[in-house]
A = this chain, B = another copy of it.
Amino acid sequence: MKDTIMKAAVSLLASAGYGAASMRAIADQAGVAVGSLYVHYSSKKGLIDQLFKDAFASRMAHLLDLQARLPSSVDVLMAFIDEHFRQLAADESLALVLIRESQNPQLADLPGVRSFEEDLPKAFEAILEQGQRQGEIRPLDARLVSHLIFHMIRSAVYERQICCHHDPLSLRDELKTFIKQAISTR
């Protein structure tokens, strides 16, 4: 049931956003009573914090795994984008929620959200710096570009959700080409 609730919450957050996703609406969507939400999550914010904590943990684990297995930094980034899009296909709503609500000031103080906002770009930054040392990546402000890439992935995912015009595979390849060309040494 805990899972049913979380899935309903993600679905509603995706379509309506934090402000319009009331606990009552989430309960209805999940087909449970309002009180049941509080059996499994301490509060509305507690529920959303858990959402981000889970997402951060799974993404971070994957990124660290890639970094350990692939020698080339550019390859790590490309593989991560592939994986990100794969996860996206698995749960489109979740991706949208993660992107949208991570920028919601009302949620900025949640530990899970902060990890997602701060620690994930930091990992990107480390990869870029390693790539620079390896000569694969041109001189650039690693911190800044890590954030740019992070947001571009977000944007691509976001576009995919909102404007249903794009073919997801071409979008993924377009993004990869875009980033690859932008950071490579010539």
Query: What residues make up the interface of A, taking CB atoms closer than 8 Å to B?
Result: 15-20, 100, 103-106, 140-141, 143-145, 147-148, 150-152, 154-156, 158-159, 163, 165-166, 170-171, 174-175, 177-179, 181-182
Q: Is the CB of A17 within 8 A of B104?
A: yes
Q: Is the CB of B148 within 8 A of A151?
A: no
A182 to B175, CA, bound (A): 10
Q: Is the CB of B175 within 8 A of A15?
A: no
Q: Given A18-B19, A19-B19, A19-B106, A144–B170 Cβ distance below 8 Å?
A: yes
CB-CB nearest in chain B for A175: B148
A82 to B151, CA, bound (A): 20
Oligomeric state, in number of copies? 4
A147 to B160, CA, bound (A): 10
A171 interface neighbour in B16, B100, B144, B163, Cβ under 8 Å: B144
A179 to B183, CA, bound (A): 10
CB-CB nearest in chain B for A179: B182
What residues of chain B lie closer than 8 Å to A156, measured between beta carbons?
148, 151
